[in-house]
Amino acid sequence: MSTAIKKRPFIHPEGWKFATIFFVISIIISMLWLPLAAIGFLLTLFTLWFFRDPERHTPEDPNLVISSADGKVCLIDEACPPEELLIENEKMKRICVFMNVFNVHINRSPVLGKAERIVYKEGQFLNASLDKASDKNERSSLVIKSDHGPRIVVVQIAGLIARRILSFISLNQLLSQGERFGLIRFGSRVDIYMPLNAITQCKVGDKVIAGESILASLK
């Protein structure tokens, strides 16, 4: 069984701000040299497309961990969650999804549960596909106490181009499975941590869709 997440405008409000800037610049440039203005108009259209926020149909199952990001599974391993979360230093299963600039960048909750902790940490802007990006890059970590019992950690990681991580939620907010919780601008990565005994249902190289693709099942 699946449900469509509450309908919203196809373009996220963040997109209109950037598109307006590019459009105004394009108008000004067109007064100086028309051919160059075409580049500005193309950037305006690309910006609107980049910030698209399509509807998704999320499986309703508390035993499933749904992808938080559109993109490609770039790493599956065992690792400790970010130290700033002050979680016991125990390894968890980690599934990492890399987003390029052509992917939808709205991030969604992998499970139904409560936002127990939200921690932002400044950092570098290395290539987000690198393993060390999890430790070195700017990031925002979200701990979700799932209704099913275990805690799930979702880490938004900035990349080479991404310089701004946005959160749409507040502490102790109840999140639906597949609900939008944040956004990373212009290319990035999302790491999802879960119990070690979670059964992986994807593999490295798989293309996944936020709010729809199943990454793992919880025992």
pTM of the model: 0.82
Per residue in 143-167, pLDDT (tens digit) is: 999 987 899 999 999 877 656 788 8
> Of residues 12 and 4, which shows the higher confidence score?
12
What does the pLDDT read at residue 133? 74
The pLDDT mean for the chain works out to 85
Per residue in 115-135, pLDDT (tens digit) is: 999 999 988 777 666 777 777
Of the candidates 167, 188, 213, 217, the residue annotated as catalytic is 188
What does the pLDDT read at residue 5? 46
| Cβ(210)–Cβ(73) below 8 Å | no
Q: Is 188 a catalytic residue?
A: yes
**Conformational region of residue 193, where left means phi above 0, alpha means psi within -120 to 50, and beta covers everything else:** beta
CA gap 199, 197 in Å, rounded = 6
Specify the CATH number of the domain 61-217.
2.70.70.10
What are the residue ranges spanned by the domains of the chain? 1-55, 61-217
Beta bridge partners of 174: 114
For the chain, counts of helices (H) and of strands (E): 3, 16
